[in-house]
């Protein structure tokens, strides 16, 4: 059979279900990764499964999100993560070693394998030819225990690349172009496969920028072939032995093809407040906009070549605005320190930030009020930067550096006219390899000697009751289209409560309605079910399972939406919240916050696969609904969530 790359990797890993487009398949997972903000819950859930040692080929726990801090919470979490990793066979990447996706690509990503991670940008691994997928922490815990990971067998979209990038145009501009084609909604259940003669001209770190931000389209993941460039990268990382060739067979089929001519691309930007809001940088320049802040880094654009490019552009200039740079990993930071580029950056007045997520997750370096911030990361959701009215634009390192010099939105191609030549930075033939910040776990024999550290911030994962026969309750909130997990469960200054669900739950929907948690709690006490009504693409963005776990803790029993994004949908199921959809989207308009809704016999009907209706008791209306749940997912919801289900089914 003639196969594309996605099919090749998936077919070699499917352990359950039929590989038919749209149906659920379970796949074997070779590698897992977690980061600290989602990791504590993932490991608490793993511990609850009572499996002594991970069963994957490789599991790595990274600390990169909650690093800067006031108070004891983050440091306590780090201690928990380090000890739990040592005990259960997991490698531990210490704080300071870098952002999980950057470090994983450098040191562990392996073509032809499967990786899931409790972070939506795990897709970065596609740059090295992995099927790498973001998932909720509980799914990662199950995979660490040797369980399958379930996805919808995908439609595969081929992104056919021709030509070569012109100077001043970067990999970021490629993915922004893809976002212009695909937008941020309507791509659930698809995977992107890059192909065509243009692929060979992109290095692995450039490919990883593209697969990283593919997450913003809502596809399950994106993958590049594994070719001579991949071999070159792995060799430079001292891992040539991990290389295999991976290419689509001649005549392989795809569900859709998107053509992108790299030579025709121009510098692009994603405008506030969505990564899919694309405009040409030259048009924004024409508006004469002042830039208040530039932030360079994040898992999208913080590779060695990215930072060297910026350093060369800034060399000999003093920045005209506030500029922060966060190198993606210790490897990158040490290399630019060793060759003098860091010194050039410091001389230019840039503020050197830690090798961590930092500004991207909004836990420091927030812009000024209404400030225009140009950032090289992947998300510009409203308020995510920590400043509610900031205007965040997502751009390439080249465009960010141009603004750093001029203090205005500037097409980087204009720098030539200012005497700044395009710096052609090559990927090094040898990276600086030093894994001393990655701790190995102790042997199985020694594991009993390790005591897992639990600070006062670490609570037990909450448990849910089995699903009630009927759902009857109040619409506690009605939200619009494209509500992100940053709206549902804000990060930034609230991040340090990720391990303390009782506390963190008091911030659910904080950016939209601060009364939400108290209203939910009052209903819960009275035995009234809480119901969320949402528009299109509900739960976009991150993989944080807290966006399902905390609403569950507050007594939310159902989300009624026009559509729900993949990872959030899986998280709702994992925490026993029923996701159902309007058969007729116009019915959304007829429901208001405060309405009393009933889904009679919900459990019985869903078990049988029958037709389901929501009755609006307040308005005397009845709406036809649909659901898309596999038999496995139904069982999980009936049990009250994955933890209860896993324990029940042994
Ligand atoms: C993000 O970029 O939104 C995060 C923070 O990395 C999240 C994970 C989290 O919320 O902890 C993600 O992308 O999944
Ligand atoms: Fe960290 Fe930002 Fe990447 Fe999320 S998107 S993993 S917060 S750098």
Same-domain status, 396 and 279: yes
Whether residue 93 is contained in a domain is answered as yes
Give how far Cα 286 sits from Cα of 87, 167, 168, 290, 445, Å. 57, 21, 18, 11, 66
- 311 and 224 both lie in a single domain: no
Q: Do 216 and 311 lie in a common domain?
A: no
pLDDT tens, residue by residue, 461-476: 898 999 999 999 999 9
Let me know: does 414 contact 167? Beta carbons within 8 Å.
Answer: no
Q: What is the distance in A from the centroid of ligand 1 to the CA of 542?
A: 4
Among all bound ligands, the one having the nearest atom to the CA of 102 is 2
How far apart CA 532 and CA 548 sit, in angstroms, is: 11
pLDDT digits (tens, 9 = 90+) for 46-63: 999 999 999 999 999 999
Would residue 198 count as lying in a domain?
Answer: yes
Q: Give domain status of residue 255, yes or no.
A: yes
Overall pTM surpassing 0.85 (yes/no):
yes
User: What pLDDT band is residue 509 in, cutting at 50, 70 and 90?
Assistant: very high
pLDDT tens digit sequence for 107-146:
999 999 999 999 999 999 999 999 999 999 999 999 999 9
Same domain (yes/no): 201, 324: no
Asked if 525 and 493 touch (Cβ cutoff 8 Å), the reply is no
Asked if the model's pLDDT at residue 304 lies above 80, the reply is: yes
Whose C-alpha lies nearest to ligand 1, atom 2?
542
pLDDT of residue 36: 97
Cβ–Cβ < 8 Å for 115, 33? yes
CA of 484 from ligand 2 middle (Å) equals 15
**Active-site amino acid positions:** 64-65, 119, 379, 542, 544
The answer on 538 and 396 residing in a single domain is: no
Whether 248 and 285 map to the same domain: the answer is no
Residue 267 — pLDDT band, cuts 50, 70, 90?
very high
pLDDT on residue 70:
85
User: What percent of the chain has pLDDT above 70?
Assistant: 99
Residue 493 covered by a domain: yes
Provide mean pLDDT across the span 420-448. Answer: 97
Q: What is the pLDDT of residue 68?
A: 83
For residue 378, the ligand 1 atom closest to its alpha carbon is 2
Quote the CA–CA distance of 177 and 281 in Å, as a whole number.
Answer: 12
Residue 68: Cβ within 10 Å count:
13
Q: How confident is the model at residue 204 (pLDDT cuts 50, 70, 90)?
A: very high
Q: Which of 248, 264, 280 is the last residue of a domain?
A: 264
Residue 522 shares a structural domain with residue 620 = yes
Q: Take atom 13 of ligand 1 and give the residue whose Cα is closest.
A: 542
For residue 313, the domain's CATH number is: 3.30.499.10
Runs of H (alpha helix) within 340-396:
341-347
In 10 A of CB 630, how many CB atoms? Answer: 16
Distance 648 CA to ligand 1 centre (A): 30
Ligand 1, closest atom to CA 498? 11
Q: How far, in Å, from the CA of 358 to the mean position of ligand 2?
A: 8
State the Cα–Cα distance between residues 28 and 311, nearest whole angstrom. Answer: 42
Q: Do 493 and 512 fall within a single domain?
A: yes
> 259 phi and psi, to 5 degrees?
-100, 130
Question: Does position 179 have pLDDT exceeding 70, yes or no?
Answer: yes
Could you tell me if 373 and 479 lie in one domain? no
Tell whether 260 and 307 lie within a shared domain. no
* 46 and 134 inside one domain: yes
Q: Where does a domain end: 217, 235, 264? A: 264
Mean pLDDT of all residues belonging to the chain: 97
DSSP per-residue string spanning 197-252:
TTGGGS-HHHHHHHHHHHGGGT-SEEE--B-HHHHHHHHHTT-GGG---B-PPTT-
Q: Residues with beta carbon inside 6 Å of ligand 2? A: 65, 99, 119, 121, 298-299, 357, 360-361, 377-378
Nearest CA residue ID for atom 5, ligand 1:
361
Q: What is the DSSP letter of 351?
A: E
The answer to whether 351 and 382 are in contact (CB under 8 A) is: no
| Coil vs helix vs strand at 281 | helix
Assigned domain for 455 exists: no
Total number of domains constituting the chain: 3
CATH code assigned at 630: 3.20.19.10
Contact 576, 229 (CB under 8 A): no
Q: What pLDDT score was predicted for residue 650?
A: 55
Q: Is residue 553 part of a domain?
A: yes
Atom number, ligand 1, closest to the C-alpha of residue 546: 10
- Angle, CA of 210, 217 and 95, to the nearest 5°: 60
Across 492-513, average pLDDT: 95
Q: What pLDDT shows up at residue 644?
A: 87
Q: Which atom of ligand 2 is nearest to the CA of 360?
A: 2
Q: Which of 372-381, 491-500, 525-534, 585-594 has the lowest mean pLDDT?
A: 491-500
Residue-wise pLDDT for 318-341, tens only, equals 999 999 999 999 999 999 999 999
Inter-residue contact 378 to 212 (CB < 8 Å): yes
Ligand nearest to the CA of 543: 1
CB 397 within 8 A of CB 376: yes
Q: What strands lie across the sheet with 322-325, from one edge to the other?
A: 278-280, 268-270, 391-394, 372-375, 293-296, 322-325, 351-352
Residues with CB under 6 A from ligand 1: 37-38, 65, 119-121, 134, 361, 379, 491, 541-544
- The pLDDT assigned to 69 comes to 78
Kindly indicate the confidence band of residue 421, based on its pLDDT and cuts at 50, 70 and 90.
Answer: very high
Tell me what the mean pLDDT of segment 33-57 comes to: 96
pLDDT, average across residues 153-168: 98
pLDDT of residue 648: 67
Question: What confidence category does residue 457 fall into, taking pLDDT thresholds of 50, 70 and 90?
Answer: confident
| Same domain (yes/no): 280, 246 | no
Q: How far apart are CA 376 and CA 309, in angstroms?
A: 13
pLDDT digits (tens, 9 = 90+) for 546-583: 999 999 999 999 999 999 999 999 999 999 999 999 99
User: What is the mean pLDDT of the segment spanning 299-307?
Assistant: 98
Q: Cα(361) to centroid of ligand 1, in Å?
A: 7
Can you read off the two tokens belonging to residue 567?
Answer: 């990872």
Task: Work out the average pLDDT over 162-188.
Answer: 96
Contact 311, 302 (CB under 8 A): no
Q: Return the ∠ at Cα 205 (arms to 264 and 400), rounded to 5°.
A: 65
Residue where a domain terminates, one of 417, 446, 462: 417
- What confidence tens digit (pLDDT) does each residue in 597-626 have? 999 999 999 999 999 999 999 999 999 999
| Ligand 2 atom index nearest CA of 542 | 4
- Does 527 fall in a domain? yes
For residue 284, the CA-to-ligand 1 centroid distance in Å is 29
Domain for residue 428, yes or no? no
Taking CA atoms only, the protein residue closest to ligand 2 atom 1 is 357
Supply the pLDDT for residue 109.
98
- pLDDT for position 637: 98
Domain that holds residue 345: 268-417
DSSP state of 97: S
Between the CA of 338 and the centroid of ligand 2 the distance, in Å, is 26
**Which residue, judged by its Cα, is nearest atom 9 of ligand 1?**
544
Q: Which ligand is nearest to the CA of 118?
A: 1
């Amino acid at each position: 059979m003639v196969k594309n790359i996605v099919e090749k990797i998936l077919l070699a890993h499917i352990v359950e279900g039929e590989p038919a487009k749209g149906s659920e398949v379970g796949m074997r997972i070779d590698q897992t990764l977690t980061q600290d903000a989602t990791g504590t819950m993932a490991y608490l859930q793993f511990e609850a499964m009572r499996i002594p040692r991970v069963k994957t080929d490789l599991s790595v726990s990274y600390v990169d999100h909650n690093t800067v801090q006031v108070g004891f919470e983050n440091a306590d979490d780090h201690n928990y993560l380090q000890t739990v990793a040592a005990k259960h066979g997991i490698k531990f990447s210490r704080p300071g070693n870098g952002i999980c996706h950057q470090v994983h690509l450098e040191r562990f990503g392996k073509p032809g394998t499967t990786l899931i991670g409790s972070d939506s940008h795990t897709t970065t691994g596609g740059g090295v030819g992995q099927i790498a997928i973001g998932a909720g922490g509980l799914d990662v815990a199950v995979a660490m225990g040797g369980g399958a990971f379930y996805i919808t067998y995908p439609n595969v979209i081929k992104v056919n690349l021709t030509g070569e990038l012109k100077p001043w145009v970067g990999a970021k501009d490629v993915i922004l172009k893809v976002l212009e084609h695909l937008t941020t909604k309507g791509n659930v259940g698809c995977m992107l496969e890059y192909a065509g003669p243009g692929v060979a001209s992109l290095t692995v770190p450039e490919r990883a920028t593209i697969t990283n931000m593919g997450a913003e389209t809502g596809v399950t993941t994106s993958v590049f072939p594994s070719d001579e460039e991949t071999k070159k990268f792995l060799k430079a990382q001292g891992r040539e032995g991990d290389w295999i060739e991976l290419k689509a067979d001649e005549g392989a089929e795809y569900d859709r093809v998107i053509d992108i001519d790299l030579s025709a691309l121009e510098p692009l930007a994603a405008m506030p407040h969505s990564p899919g809001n694309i405009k040409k940088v030259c048009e924004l320049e024409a508006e004469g906009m002042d830039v208040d802040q530039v932030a360079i880094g994040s898992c999208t654009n913080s590779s060695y070549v990215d930072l060297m490019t910026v350093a060369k552009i800034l060399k000999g200039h003093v920045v005209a605005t506030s500029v922060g740079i966060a190198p993606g990993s210790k490897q990158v930071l040490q290399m630019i320190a060793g060759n003098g580029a860091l010194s050039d950056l410091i001389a230019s007045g840039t503020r050197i930030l830690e090798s961590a997520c930092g500004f991207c997750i909004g836990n420091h370096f927030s812009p000024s009020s209404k400030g225009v911030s140009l950032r090289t990361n992947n998300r510009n959701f409203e308020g995510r930067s920590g400043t509610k009215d900031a205007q965040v634009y997502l751009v390439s390192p080249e465009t960010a550096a141009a603004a750093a010099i001029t203090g205005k939105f500037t097409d980087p191609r204009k720098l030539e006219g200012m005497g700044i030549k395009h710096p052609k930075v090559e990927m090094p033939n040898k990276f600086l390899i030093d894994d001393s910040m990655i701790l190995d776990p102790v042997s199985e024999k020694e594991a009993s000697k390790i005591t897992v550290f639990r600070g006062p911030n670490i609570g037990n994962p909450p448990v849910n009751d089995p699903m009630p026969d009927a759902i009857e309750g109040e619409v506690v909130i009605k939200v619009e289209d494209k509500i992100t997990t940053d709206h549902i469960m804000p990060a930034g200054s609230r991040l340090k409560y990720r391990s303390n669900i009782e506390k963190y739950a008091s911030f659910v929907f904080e950016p939209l309605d601060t009364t939400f948690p108290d209203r939910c709690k009052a209903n819960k006490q009275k035995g009234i079910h809480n119901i969320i009504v949402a528009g299109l693409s509900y739960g976009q963005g991150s993989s944080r399972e807290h966006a399902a776990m905390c609403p569950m803790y507050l007594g939310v029993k159902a989300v009624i939406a026009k559509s729900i994004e993949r990872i959030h949908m899986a998280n709702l199921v994992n925490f026993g919240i029923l996701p159902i959809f309007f058969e007729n989207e116009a019915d959304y308009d007829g429901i208001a916050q405060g309405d009393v809704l009933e889904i009679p016999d919900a459990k019985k009907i869903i078990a049988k696969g029958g037709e389901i209706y929501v009755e609006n008791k307040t308005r005397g209306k009845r709406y036809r609904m649909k659901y898309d749940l596999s038999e496995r997912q139904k069982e999980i919801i009936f049990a009250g969530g994955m933890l209860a289900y896993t324990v029940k089914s042994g």
